[in-house]
Amino acid sequence: MRLKTVILLFVTCVFGGSQVGVADEPLTLMGILSPWMYPDSVTNGAQMSDAATVNSEGNRTVQSFVCKTTMTTDDPIEKVLAFYKAKLTPDQFANAETKAQLQAGRSVLVSDDSDGRPFSIHTILVNTEKTSTTLIISRADSEKKTHIVWKRYVRI
């Protein structure tokens, strides 16, 4: 826990004024996570750490970090999917510059791997030049909660 706190503090102090990904995105764990939070979900801890991208000689090649958390909600999986699909529509953003960036340099891939299984599992991948966000949304037929695993890779 101390190491995570030190890394978070270091990244915040050194890169606090930087902007990565979408315009005006904050570079703190909660600042990065907040726009991805599902309404009224319970977060089961969140982490931010060095992504440590290295080449075959063991030398660091890309300065980057990764954030992750798991959220749960009572809402059905269909409602959760509808929320994220609407959120990822460029028209949802008021800032014209942000809309243009999203339309020009972002890809969104949505997959459903539920067919023939006793659970629903959907993956949403959102990639930009400097970020990669993955949402894994799942719920077993016997479960009372929908699980949302969120991971975000950020290249500095």
Range of the domain at 147: 2-155
- Indicate the number of domains in the chain: 1
Is the Cα dihedral 34, 38, 40, 41 positive or negative? negative
pLDDT attached to residue 96: 65
The segments of the chain whose pLDDT lies below 70 read 1-26, 53-56, 58-60, 90-104
pTM exceeds 0.75, yes or no: no
Q: Which DSSP helix (H) or strand (E) runs through 105?
A: helix 96-105
